[in-house]
Amino acid sequence: MSTVRNGLPAVVTLLIVSAFGAFGADLATAAGPLAVPSALGLPYGLPGLRLVPLGETGWPFTLTENLAALVLVGAVAWVTTHRRGGAVRAFFAGWGAFVLGTLAAGLLRAVAVSQTVQAGPGAYAGLVAGALVTGLVWGVVLGWTAAIATLASADAGTTVVRA
């Protein structure tokens, strides 16, 4: 299987985090309920990959978001390139990798926010738990994109032998 086909789920995930970096704030303001986690101090969506800080967030926040986005892409890339099995297993490997990546990215973002605001143990635990829940929700909601890309890369590399 070629590197391009193996990297398709990671490329799709990279496009998603780039879109969240470019249009994530517009998405949160256009769809009101998406702003509720932000009001609680939780991430509003997937980490966004951006070149410059958004508004007055500053460079530490931007670098944390970029690192979390790269953790998500890296998780999808690693799991989907090391998968084994048929198409069904590839599909669920892609979806699971995306969910795992969103959980890891959410955890990283929660730890960074709690360190920034110098949260106490209770607030720290609440931020981590909330970030894991929002990461799980976003991973389940958008994980199908990586799953379909993984399925496409698995189907492209299989050969059918007929007797």
In the prediction, which pLDDT does 55 show? 78
Per-residue pLDDT 10s for the chain (163 aa) are: 455 556 888 899 999 998 888 887 677 677 666 666 666 666 677 888 888 887 777 898 889 989 999 999 999 998 888 777 777 888 888 899 999 999 999 999 888 888 888 888 888 888 888 888 888 988 998 999 988 888 887 665 544 444 5
* Amino acid in the structure at residue 88: V
Interatomic CA distance for residues 127 and 114, integer angstroms? 7
For 56, other C-beta atoms within 10 Å of its C-beta total 6
Tokens of 8: 């398709």
State the residue for tokens 């390139």.
81
Q: Could you write out the three-class secondary structure of 67-90?
A: HHHHHHHHHHHHHHHCCCCCHHHH
Interatomic CA distance for residues 130 and 18, integer angstroms? 23
In the prediction, which pLDDT does 160 show? 41
pTM of the model: 0.81
